Structure 1
Amino acid sequence: MSRLTLVELSDLPHKPHGCPTEVQRSWERLKATHKSVSGLFATLNELRAGQNELRGAISETHRDQARAAIVFTAAGIDACLRTLLRDSLPTLLSTAGDAHGAFVAHFMANRLNGDMTKATKAAIVDIDPRSALIDLYVQDLTGSSIQGGADLIRCRNALGLKQESALDDQVLKAHQPFFNARHEVVHELDLIDPSGRGTRRRRHRDLSAVSAQYDGALQLLHAFIAPTARAVKAARRAMKRSAT
Structure 2
Amino acid sequence: MSEAPETNGKSSRLTVVELTDLPRKPVGGAEINRSWNRLVATHESVRALFSTLNQLRAAQDETRGPISEAHRDQARAAIVFTTAGIDACLSALLKDALPTLLRIDGPAHNAFVAHFMKERFKDNKVTQATKKAVVAFDPRTALIDLYVEDLTGPSIQGAKDLARCRDALGLKDDPALAQSVLDEHQPFFNARHEVVHELDIVDAAGRGTRSRRHRDIAAVGEQCDGALQLLRAFIAPTARTVRTARRTMGWSES
Task: Identify the range of structure 1 (46-55 vs 157-166) with the bigger mean alpha-carbon deviation.
Answer: 46-55
SS state at 1:201 partner: strand
CA distance in 2, matches of 1:219, 1:230: 17
The reply to whether residue 166 of structure 1 matches residue 176 of structure 2 is yes
Cα shift readout 1:185-230 (whole Å, capped 9, x = no counterpart) = 0000000139xx7211100001111110000000000000000000
Q: Rate the CA distance shift 1:111–1:201 in 2: closer, same or farther, 3 A.
A: same
Kindly tell me the number of residue pairs found equivalent between the two proteins: 238
Aligned residue number for residue 150 of structure 2: 140
Where has structure 1 moved over 2 Å in runs of 4 or more?
52-56
Q: Please, which of 67, 81, 85 is the counterpart of residue 94 of structure 2?
A: 85
Instruction: Provide the aligned C-alpha RMSD in A.
Output: 1.3
- Partner of residue 203 from structure 1, selected from 200, 203, 213: 213
Distance 1:118 1:226 in 2: 36
Taking the TM superposition and a 5 Å limit, the aligned residue runs for 1:155-234 are 155-193=165-203, 198-234=208-244
Shift of the 46–85 alpha-carbon distance from structure 1 to 2, 3 Å rule, reads same
SS class of match (1:14): coil
Give the drift of 1:20: 1.0
Counterpart position of 1:97: 106
Give 1:237's match in structure 2, choosing from 221, 229, 247.
247
Tell me which residue corresponds to 1:115: 125
1:53–1:135 CA distance, 2 compared to 1 (3 A): closer
Secondary structure of the corresponding residue to residue 210 of structure 2:
coil
Q: How does 1:7-22 map to 2 (within 5 A)?
A: 7-17=17-27, 19-22=28-31
Deviation at 1:112, TM superposition (A): 1.1
Instruction: Give CA deviations for 1:80-139 in whole Å, capped at 9, x if unaligned.
Output: 000000000000000000000000000000001221000000000000000000000000
Report the TM-score, using the length of structure 1 for normalisation. Answer: 0.95
Q: Give distance in 1, aligned partners of 2:150 and 2:201.
A: 30
Residue in structure 2 matched with residue 31 of structure 1 by the alignment: 40
DSSP 3-state at the match of 1:192: strand
Using the size of structure 2 for normalisation, the TM-score is: 0.91
Q: Give unmatched runs, 5+ long, in structure 2.
A: 6-11
- Of 70-79 and 53-62, more deviation after overlay is shown by 53-62
- 1:35 is paired with a residue whose SS is helix
Moved more, 48-57 or 138-147: 48-57
Percent sequence identity is 68
1:229 maps to amino acid: A
What letter is aligned with 1:92?
Answer: L
Unpaired runs of at least 5, structure 1: none
